[in-house]
């Protein structure tokens, strides 16, 4: 990232054709988007309206026109195994309903050609996808699976497959569905030009994946390894010196004079030189107080996924499989007896998460939802535990997506040791630099499209398994049989993710500082007048957050939320705020959204506006909020 990002409310600042964020510049746009999501749920929407990237939507139309039977719709998945999971999801969803036997899912496997020479391998790769077809009335269930599981085909895969499989053949399906007689010809020309203009070398993918995993595990950029990936132009020595001075500066989150907000990063291909903070796990054993030290192995303990939702979904499947084995073992031993142990254990969603997370867990597993995330939430959890019911796991975001609440992971860890449940933490909002939660949980999941990538043009996710967890051996066995690395992240996606994340540590620190200054200078002075509530870990849950705050580079994060006395005031502030608007967070630019309007929780105030601070010039950002407040 070079320099500062300009503010602009009506567009999102990305030149990438693979950009995944939405622009919702006015409150009315958010309301319209929410209505469209409802129409998708009702089945009254096309592919683009369903939230598919334009390349994925185009590929889906082509495949439907070429292979679908009458009144069938289709969707693409990264593997045959994933498509079968979608088929099973639909079977369960429609079971017992009228006409359920008509909800049959056909699966077609397609593959592009393999490269024939080493030279071809730099720009050609075998790509396998699975296409699932279902009768139109049941297509919404397929879209639900795509959204909740996160097991999706990326825009780069769709673009590559379109070119390799269909564009050269001049698909009759594309031509017949075009509104212009030259549409198919023009699309083919666009894809051929893109193909010959491609700069990415596919053979770098394995090295890029290794670097990404290592970066997650250690928060460190390996300069020697990255040199093999960088086709950079020469950089002036003065630029390198400036970058070193900026990125080696000590960061003290309690020092009000710290300011990285106006420091530009020179040279897009320069690697981050921030000293590494190893993701070292110190596990306190409650029984004897001993401390074990373990280091995450990037190759064996970190798994990458097509999205953050896919990492959470896989974790839920892992836990469900473990519980199924428990029940099978008890039945085989003949020890099953009437009571809670005979049935599936429930999973607890603690705190108010992203609504897709809530819907996924509550749809795909037996569960409890405890919206409170502080003392009240733990008290309700204790009531369940002390009733004699055994639970399988607690899934929690920390900080949470909307209210920025922080779970008391220390006490939760103690409860898990006493009552034998597992802990899964989604730290996407805080990020690897700011949050060190692994010591208190069994699995950490994250959406890498946010702070780690920053540019929001690569949908991806990760799962980190705690090597000291009692779940570790089973998790390794499960992932060895269920995880399909070749179908999870396409080579172009992992290479782009590696490039995007090279300076994620320095960007996180700059955003932390800008957020602290914005809260201090503009937001908090208006608490009690313009804003009725201000939510940020440094304000509402500072003591709890300090227990999981990154020891070396960590801050309190770049996401905060504000509430208003009336909906009209919230609407006016949102419409006048001259920053980007939409549901994204953790990007290089500041973005705001009416969080409750998009997530529809009764437990959250309707006036809540969440803000994710970016890398803009601080003075410009400060002025944007001051003007919105004064209007």
Query: Quick one: pLDDT band at residue 160, thresholds 50, 70, 90?
Result: very high
**Percent of the chain as helix, strand, coil, to the nearest 5:** 45, 15, 40
pLDDT digits (tens, 9 = 90+) for 418-460: 999 999 999 999 999 999 999 999 999 999 999 999 988 999 9
Q: How many CB atoms lie within 10 A of CB 33?
A: 18
Q: Cβ–Cβ contacts within 10 Å for residue 39, how many? A: 12
DSSP secondary structure of 478-492 = HHHHH--HHHHS-HH
CA distance 389 to 224: 53
Q: Are 121 and 203 in contact (CB under 8 A)?
A: yes
Please give the C-alpha separations between residue 355 and each of 82, 298, 404, 534, in angstroms, as whole numbers.
23, 30, 14, 21
> What is the Cα gyration radius of the chain?
24
Q: Is the pLDDT of residue 607 over 50?
A: yes
pLDDT higher than threshold 60 for residue 12: no
pLDDT tens for residues 553-570? 899 999 999 999 999 999
455 in Cβ contact with 586 (< 8 Å): no
Q: Please name the helix (run of DSSP H) or strand (run of DSSP E) that holds residue 505, with its range, or none.
A: helix 504-518
Is pLDDT of 503 > 80?
A: yes
For 292-308, write each residue's pLDDT tens digit. Answer: 445 899 999 999 999 99
Residue 324 CB-density burial (10 A; 0-12 exposed, 13-18 middle, 19+ buried): exposed
Residue-range domains of the chain with CATH: 27-196 (no CATH), 280-498 (3.40.640.10)
Contact 220, 506 (CB under 8 A): no
Closest among 136, 27, 145, 131 to 86, alpha carbons compared: 145
In three-state secondary structure terms, 368 is strand
Q: What confidence score (pLDDT) does residue 286 get? A: 37
Residue 580 contacts by C-beta under 8 Å, 6 or more apart in sequence? 7, 8, 9, 11, 12, 13, 23, 589, 590, 591, 592
Q: Could you give the residue ranges of the DSSP H alpha helices within 219-354?
A: 223-227, 237-247, 298-301, 308-333
Between these two residues, 17 and 1, which has the higher pLDDT value? Answer: 17
**Per-residue H/E/C for 369-431:** EECCCCHHHHHHHHHHHHCCCCEEEEEEECCCCCCCCCCCHHHHHHHHHHHCCEEEEECCCCC
Q: What is the mean pLDDT of residues 275-283?
A: 38
Which pLDDT band, with edges at 50, 70 and 90, does 269 fall under?
very low
| Alpha carbons 304 and 242: distance in angstroms, whole number | 33
d(CA 629, CA 531): 10
The pLDDT of 488-515, averaged and rounded, is: 95
Pairwise CA distance, residues 622 & 540, whole Å: 22
Average pLDDT (16-29) is: 89
Position with higher pLDDT, 36 vs 252: 36
Confidence of residue 334 (pLDDT cuts 50, 70, 90): low
């Amino acid at each position: 990232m070079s320099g500062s990002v300009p503010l602009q409310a009506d567009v999102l600042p990305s030149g990438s054709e693979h950009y995944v964020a939405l622009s919702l510049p006015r409150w009315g746009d958010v309301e319209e988007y929410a209505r469209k999501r409802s129409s998708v749920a009702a089945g009254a929407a096309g592919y683009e309206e369903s939230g598919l990237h334009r390349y994925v939507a185009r590929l889906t139309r082509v495949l439907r026109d070429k292979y679908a039977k009458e009144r069938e719709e289709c969707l693409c998945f990264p593997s045959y195994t994933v498509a079968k999971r979608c088929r099973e999801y639909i079977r369960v969803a429609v079971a017992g309903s009228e006409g359920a036997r008509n909800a049959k899912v056909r699966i077609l496997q397609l593959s592009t050609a393999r490269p024939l020479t080493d030279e071809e391998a730099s720009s050609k790769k075998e790509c396998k996808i699975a296409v699932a077809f279902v009768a139109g009335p049941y297509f919404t269930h397929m879209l639900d699976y795509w959204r909740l599981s996160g097991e999706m085909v990326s825009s780069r895969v769709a673009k590559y497959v379109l070119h390799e499989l269909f564009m050269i053949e001049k698909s009759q399906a594309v031509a017949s569905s075009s509104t212009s007689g030259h549409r198919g010809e023009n699309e083919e020309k666009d894809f051929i030009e893109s193909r010959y203009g491609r700069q990415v070398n596919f053979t770098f993918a394995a090295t890029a994946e290794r670097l990404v995993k290592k970066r997650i595990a250690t928060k460190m950029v390996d300069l020697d390894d990255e040199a093999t990936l960088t086709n950079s132009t020469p950089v002036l020595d003065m630029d390198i010196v400036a970058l070193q001075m900026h990125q080696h500066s000590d960061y003290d989150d309690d020092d009000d004079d710290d300011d990285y907000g106006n420091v530009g990063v020179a040279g897009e291909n320069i690697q981050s030189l921030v000293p590494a903070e190893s993701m070292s796990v110190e596990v306190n054993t409650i029984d004897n107080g001993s401390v074990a030290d373990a280091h995450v192995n990037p190759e064996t303990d970190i798994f990458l996924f097509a999205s953050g939702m896919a990492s959470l979904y896989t974790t839920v499947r892992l836990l469900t499989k473990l519980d199924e084995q428990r029940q099978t073992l008890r039945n085989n031993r003949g020890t099953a007896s009437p009571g809670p142990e005979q049935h599936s254990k429930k999973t607890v969603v603690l705190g108010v998460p992203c609504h897709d997370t809530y819907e996924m867990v509550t749809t795909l597993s037996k569960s409890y939802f405890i919206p409170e995330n502080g003392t009240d939430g733990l008290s309700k959890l204790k009531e369940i535990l002390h009733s004699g019911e055994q639970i399988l796991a607690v899934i929690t975001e920390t900080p949470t997506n909307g209210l920025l609440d922080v779970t008391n992971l220390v006490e939760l860890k103690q409860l898990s040791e006493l009552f034998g449940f597992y802990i899964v933490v989604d730290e996407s909002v805080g990020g690897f630099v700011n949050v060190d939660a692994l010591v208190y949980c069994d699995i950490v999941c994250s959406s890498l499209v946010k702070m780690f990538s920053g540019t929001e043009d690569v949908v991806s996710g990760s799962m980190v398994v705690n090597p000291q967890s009692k779940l570790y051996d089973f998790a390794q066995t499960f992932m060895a049989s269920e995880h399909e690395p070749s179908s999870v992240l396409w080579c172009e996606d992992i290479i782009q993710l590696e490039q995007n994340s090279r300076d994620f540590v320095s960007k996180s620190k700059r955003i932390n500082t800008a957020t602290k200054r914005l809260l201090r200078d503009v937001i908090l002075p208006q608490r009690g007048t313009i804003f009725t509530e201000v939510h940020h870990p440094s304000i509402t849950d500072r003591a709890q957050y300090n227990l999981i705050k990154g020891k070396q580079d960590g801050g309190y994060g770049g996401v905060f939320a504000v509430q208003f006395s009336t909906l009209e005031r919230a609407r006016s502030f949102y419409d006048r705020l001259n920053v980007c608007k939409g549901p994204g967070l953790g990007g290089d630019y500041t973005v705001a959204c009416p969080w409750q309007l998009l997530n529809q929780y009764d437990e959250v105030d309707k006036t809540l506006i969440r803000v994710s601070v970016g890398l803009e010039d601080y003075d410009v950002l400060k002025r944007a909020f001051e003007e919105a407040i004064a209007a």
